[in-house]
Amino acid sequence: MYNESVDGFFGDYGGKYVPEVLRSTIDDLEKAFKKYINDPEFLAELKILQRDYIGRETPLMFAEKATELLGGAQIYIKLEGLANTGAHKINNAIGQVLLAKKMGKKRIIAETGAGQHGVATAAACAKLGMECVVYMGEVDVRRQQPNVASMELYGAKVVAVQNGSRTLKDAVNEAMRDWSANFKDTHYCLGSALGPAPFPDIVRTFQSIIGQEVKSQAAERNIKIDSLVACVGGGSNASGFFAPFFDDTDIKLYGAEAGGTGSELGKNAARMAGNAAKDGIIQGYKSRFLIDDDGQACSTSSISAGLDYLGISPQLAMLGKSGRIHFEAVLDDDALKAVSFFAKNEGILMALESAHAAALAMKIAPKVPKDKAVIINMSGRGDKDVFITSPVFRPTEWKEFLKSELHRLETNANVHSKY
């Protein structure tokens, strides 16, 4: 479906650069995916989970006030943030965990950076009765405690990875190591549309429900789409949102990358916008990466943890290079402004990641005729960002709150038993 890879490649990008021990596991996964994705029983089961567990379909909301204020295109927002667990990541997690269960696997492992994919995978495993181990860099474990707490509540084991920079790329390496040792009973549930083939095809396919719904919702309501705008970290929400429209070349596709605090290398995570990134092969696939001349990872920066990654989906890299997708870097400050704009004017609190797409849409919309629509994918809701947005929007009050919380815990600990 939707421009899938040719032998794992999207033009020059993609491939499956995995250690010898994982070759047959990767091949088995590809075969199983191709079988089940055409199996009516699997699809019926998936559909029920999408409807009753995730809460699909998610609304396509007309942003009336934003439209009026921006004075051009009709603005619509696809509310993926209303999906159970608060973001689009569950679409992929539930699909892969169900697939693994059909393949007879008993154990699911996953990598996570900010923790959103870990939370989605842990929740999907709880729902489908699978053992779950999440690898997370020790630095991320410390700064993302609310997500670690959720994963543990869902019954997952969170392993703090102590290697390297103790962040996402080290978590991926550790998950790969586990998979190489335990592939017989274990599935590696990868979180974005990247990694070795067939993961980019698998993740895009499970996320394509977003774009399929948008297509039918737009057709039903006679919405004339000018452009679709999504944020791009690894590229899963953008892939799923865009995929059903790849061949509708009248519809423009915009990818918003993390512009961080500026265009200098190290101050952002823009792999496609700008020209800092290089072709490379890292963690099993060929794509555009923020690496130095020796192939070492450069540091990246973004206010949104979900966009702060050095690589990008090989398919999106190919479509960016061909000009089908137009990429722009959005600054931290503009993302924060978009959070505030859509909260005040639409009652929608966007995740900081999604706010990058919203900020780009705010720039595009005024130049688009009034009878056409710009659709933003709100990949997630912003509740999770309260620790990042509060110190920006209300620094003094937030500090006081944290102090008083600490005081409360120190003087009034353990009043509840642990369930």
Ligand X SMILES: *Cc1c(COP(=O)(O)O)cnc(C)c1O
Active site residues: 89, 111, 379
Under a CB-based contact definition with an 8 Å cutoff, are residues 156 and 118 in contact? yes
Work out whether 116 is an interface residue with ligand X (CB under 6 A).
Answer: yes
3-state SS class at 78: strand
- Applying the rule CB under 6 A, the residues between 190 and 229 that interact with ligand X are 192
Within the chain, how many helices (H) and strands (E) appear? 16, 14
Q: Which is nearer to ligand X, 94 or 368 (CB)?
A: 94
Closest separation in Å from C-beta 327 to ligand X: 12
Q: Which is nearer to ligand X, 15 or 191 (CB)?
A: 191
First and final CA of the chain: distance in angstroms? 45
Under a CB-based contact definition with an 8 Å cutoff, are residues 116 and 351 in contact? no
Work out whether 379 is an interface residue with ligand X (CB under 6 A).
Answer: yes
Site string for ligand X, 343-362 (x = CB under 6 A): --------x-xx--------
In this structure, the chain runs to a length of 419
Work out whether 234 is an interface residue with ligand X (CB under 6 A).
Answer: yes
Closest separation in Å from C-beta 352 to ligand X: 8
**How big is the site for ligand X, counted in residues (CB under 6 A)?**
19
Work out whether 115 is an interface residue with ligand X (CB under 6 A).
Answer: no
Closest separation in Å from C-beta 148 to ligand X: 15
Q: Which two tokens stand for residue 126?
A: 């709880």
Q: Which is nearer to ligand X, 98 or 378 (CB)?
A: 378
Q: Which two tokens stand for residue 131?
A: 């053992």
Reference 316, options 273, 356, 281, 284; nearest CA is 273
Say what the alpha-carbon torsion angle 237, 137, 111, 262 is, to the nearest 10 degrees.
20
Closest separation in Å from C-beta 144 to ligand X: 12
- Name the one range near ligand X by CB under 6 A: 28-36, 163-171, 209-217, 233-241: 233-241
Work out whether 311 is an interface residue with ligand X (CB under 6 A).
Answer: no
3-state SS class at 319: helix
- Name the one range near ligand X by CB under 6 A: 144-152, 230-238, 281-289, 368-376: 230-238
Q: Residue from 15, 195, 198, 235 that binds ligand X (CB under 6 A)?
A: 235
Work out whether 380 is an interface residue with ligand X (CB under 6 A).
Answer: yes
Reference 79, options 397, 385, 390, 375; nearest CA is 375
- Name the one range near ligand X by CB under 6 A: 12-20, 236-244, 266-274, 329-337: 236-244
Cβ-proximal residue to ligand X, closest one: 380
Cα 405–chain centre separation: 31
Report which residue type is found at 311: G
Closest separation in Å from C-beta 115 to ligand X: 9
Under a CB-based contact definition with an 8 Å cutoff, are residues 307 and 385 in contact? no
- Applying the rule CB under 6 A, the residues between 136 and 175 that interact with ligand X are none
Q: How many CA atoms lie within 13 A of 224 on its CB side?
A: 7
Work out whether 93 is an interface residue with ligand X (CB under 6 A).
Answer: no
Report which residue type is found at 178: D
Q: Which is nearer to ligand X, 95 or 234 (CB)?
A: 234
Site string for ligand X, 30-69 (x = CB under 6 A): ----------------------------------------
> Please, which residues have CB within 8 angstroms of residue 256's CB and are 6 or more apart in sequence?
229, 230, 231, 232, 327, 328, 329, 330, 356, 357, 359, 360
Q: Which is nearer to ligand X, 50 or 207 (CB)?
A: 207
Q: Which is nearer to ligand X, 320 or 380 (CB)?
A: 380
**H or E element at residue 220:** helix 209-220
> Please, which residues have CB within 8 angstroms of residue 392's CB and are 6 or more apart in sequence?
336
Closest separation in Å from C-beta 263 to ligand X: 20
Q: Which residues bind ligand X (CB under 6 A)?
A: 87, 89, 116, 192, 231-238, 306-307, 351, 353-354, 379-380
